[in-house]
Structure 1
Amino acid sequence: MVGLFPVILAFIARIQLKDSDEFHALQEQRQNQEKETIKTKVPLLALFQTPAMTWQTVALTLMMMVHTGGYYGLMNWLPKIMQKQLGLSISSSNLWMVATIVGMSLGMYFFGHILDKFGPRFSYTFFFIMAAISLYTLLLAKNAWSLILIMMVVGFFSNGMYGGYGVIVSRLYPAEYRVTANSVVSSVGKVLGGFFPPIIGLLMDKYSLAAVMIFFSLIYLFALVIMLLIPALKKTNVEF
């Protein structure tokens, strides 16, 4: 029943929101054609048609990889790490998992406003840096309640920028294949991010919690550098 609530919100939003004029123009153009070509239906190669476009697609995919890998690490490994560190019960982990998800949701809400006002370079730079820093606050947790507050902050910054990927992909690719671009960036990035949990498991097995925190910080800083190297995001005529 709780899961139906966001579905209803999405349905209401779809009724109220209107597609862009660019999308309607493309839709009308397609309807006027006698039939669609294979390239129009699946313009996968269009995402790699130039060196600049290829780098843009690869860079966005790597950003999604880091984001997904960080999420999997937070949700799969950190509860077990903190249970061991603080000697907490398994039942109490549900509470800070919920707190993390609440923090993530709030982070996405505020990230959207920051993205609209300041653009992608500032927004992602701020959130990536804060995600790298906020992880170390876990070392300050002394009990279950302090852990709940810290996990909300960590979730806020580590997952807040998720809502921006669909937006920047839609702005950086032409309307006729932005859906394909979103699918490639999201799907490939999540597959690659799925390899992060075993890496974190190996770090846990051989090193300390500090090593895991350093790994998380480095991957967020890596994503930051990748984002700053996307030429299209430097343009002032990209509206968000």
Structure 2
Amino acid sequence: MNPLTINREGIVTGIEEGTTAAAVGCRTLAHRPRLPNVMPDVDAFLGRWDTPAAPRRPARLLTSADGNINTVGLPGIHEADDVDPLHPQWRAAIEDGVWPLVDALTTGAWRLITYDSCEGHAYRSGALTPGRRRVGVLPRSPQEFARAAAALCLGVRAAAPAVPEPVRITLSTCDLTCGRSGRRYPVLDLGLEPAPGSGDDAYFAALGTATGVLAAALLTPMLLIHIGWRGMFLVGVLPALVAWVLRNKLHEPEVFVRRTGNAGANRSNAFRLLVKDAQTTRVSLGIVILCSVQNFGYYGIMIWLPTFLSQKLGFSLTKSGLWTAATVVGMMFGVWAFGQLADRIGRRPTFLLYQAGAVVMVLVYAQLTDPTVMLFAGALMGMFVNGMVGGYGTLMSEAYPTAARATAQNVLWNIGRAIGGLGPLVVGALAVRYSFQIAIALLASLYVLDMIATRFLIPELKGTELE
């Protein structure tokens, strides 16, 4: 029998005949022997995992030229010392590519025991069969086995539609043999393998993305097992409750209170106020362009940046995430700096400065090859590309009267967001047709359009009294 496999369409295969996909609770997982699969002392390993005071010997960690971490530093299947999250060498013992899955399964709501892992290796030697990415789970009890199997099955099914075509997710059972006692322990094996008809090159190119998709999908199922679907709805309600509490603690602006409290106030149509005359229409058009470019650039860069780093520099998922996070840090500083500059030199000059910086940094970043330089350049790019978010609220507040201010914030920004949502599609299409460097570099032309719109459509509004 084949292992249970869930493909991109969410179709479950390899289960017992007569069992529907909707009824799969992972009690029907196929048994897929893996040899050798032996641990010197399983009971001792289980005892150490949850015991901080247990003695832990230094692990022998040697890395092969192909990235295998084991006791001999050679490619292929070799002995590896068993470590746990409380071991000082825990992180060093896990290969980078598989770390997101191991970390997800051993922390948070899961807190499972992993007894084996491999990031997958495209060996240089033709004599070795390429390794596949996998994680082995050793349940503490039959009850945990059932809960983990059911939750993993849900996680796999949730991730399957978003997994790249060259990769399939597999979930099966296996036996782990204790070398000391000979006892066999039932375990679960979660793997990412080449989809039927996919070559190794396509598989390894898509492996990082597949890992990220699966790691993200693993969060919800384990919570679902513990707190049920009602609990999941409650988790979704919590942010809304926080927003409600904060909203009730904030007071309305005085100008809004005065206007709404005036019984004779003109109840004008807020949408019409966005285009009430030629000057206001020009401003609205300019703001739509600015919001569109902002969202197009943000989603176009942030969605594809990890893949760009992975393919250009061979970064692992973890390292790509760190370099992408640097752009977010730059954005945070950029938003703060935008407000400071806008209050000192004006709104329009600050927008033009940031837009020019975005043109330069996007072009420069697309040409870089040194990882360290790209880390700091990414922060600068994030500052200029995304830091302009700090100015749109002020710009729209000063451009429209109180009767249309909230409408402008919602309508104009979300028009830009709808247009900007095409960013990942366009960047992806250009990357497939040409390259990621060209796709990202072409985003620079959008910021030139941004500068033209700012120069000819957006007036300087610093010091404008709110109506």
Identity %: 26
1:95 aligns with 2:322: yes
Paired residue for 1:73?
300
Query: Do the aligned partners of residues 67 and 235 (structure 1) sit closer, same or farther apart at CA in structure 2, a change above 3 Å counting?
Result: closer
Paired residue for 1:167?
394
1:126 aligns with 2:359: no
Query: Do the aligned partners of residues 162 and 236 (structure 1) sit closer, same or farther apart at CA in structure 2, a change above 3 Å counting?
Result: closer
Query: C-alpha offsets along residues 104-141 of structure 1, whole Å, 9 cap, x if unaligned?
Result: 11100010100111111110000000011011332223
Query: C-alpha offsets along residues 148-180 of structure 1, whole Å, 9 cap, x if unaligned?
Result: 222111101100011110101000101111110
Aligned residues: 224
Task: Report how far residue 207 of structure 1 moved.
Answer: 1.4
CA distance in 1, matches of 2:330, 2:461: 31
Give 1:184-223 correspondences, 5 Å limit.
184-223=411-450
Where relative contact order (Cα < 8 A, 6+ residues apart) is larger, the structure is: 1
1:117 aligns with 2:344: yes
Maintained 8 Å contact 1:203/1:211: yes
Paired residue for 2:464?
238
Letter in 2 for 1:28: G
CA distance in 1, matches of 2:270, 2:406: 10
Q: Structure 1: where are the runs of 5+ without partners?
A: none
Out of 126, 135, 142, the residue aligned to residue 370 of structure 2 is 142
CA distance in 2, matches of 1:210, 1:80: 11
Paired residue for 2:261?
28
Letter in 1 for 2:320: S
Letter in 1 for 2:286: A
Letter in 2 for 1:238: T
CA distance in 2, matches of 1:65, 1:46: 21
Instruction: List, as ranges, runs of 4+ consecutive aligned residues in structure 1 with deviation greater than 6 Å.
Output: none
Considering only CA atoms, is the larger Rg found in Structure 1 or Structure 2? 2
Query: How does the TM-score come out when normalised to structure 1?
Result: 0.83
Task: Report how far residue 239 of structure 1 moved.
Answer: 6.5
Maintained 8 Å contact 2:305/2:324: no
Paired residue for 1:64?
291
Task: Report how far residue 195 of structure 1 moved.
Answer: 1.0
Give the 3-state SS of the residue equivalent to 1:62 in structure 2: helix
Give RMSD over aligned pairs.
2.6
CA distance in 2, matches of 1:212, 1:239: 42
Maintained 8 Å contact 1:141/1:150: no
Give the 3-state SS of the residue equivalent to 2:409 in structure 1: helix
Letter in 1 for 2:407: T
CA distance in 2, matches of 1:19, 1:226: 32
Query: Do the aligned partners of residues 109 and 236 (structure 1) sit closer, same or farther apart at CA in structure 2, a change above 3 Å counting?
Result: closer
CA distance in 2, matches of 1:161, 1:93: 24
Letter in 2 for 1:66: V
Give the 3-state SS of the residue equivalent to 1:77 in structure 2: helix
CA distance in 1, matches of 2:318, 2:348: 40
Q: Structure 2: where are the runs of 5+ without partners?
A: 1-237
Query: Do the aligned partners of residues 85 and 100 (structure 1) sit closer, same or farther apart at CA in structure 2, a change above 3 Å counting?
Result: same
Query: C-alpha offsets along residues 158-213 of structure 1, whole Å, 9 cap, x if unaligned?
Result: 00011110101000101111110111111111001111211111111111344223
Letter in 2 for 1:163: G
CA distance in 2, matches of 1:133, 1:181: 30
1:176 aligns with 2:409: no
Paired residue for 2:50?
none
Judge which range, 64-73 or 93-102, deviates more.
93-102
CA distance in 2, matches of 1:135, 1:50: 36
Q: Which protein is richer in helix relative to its size?
A: 1
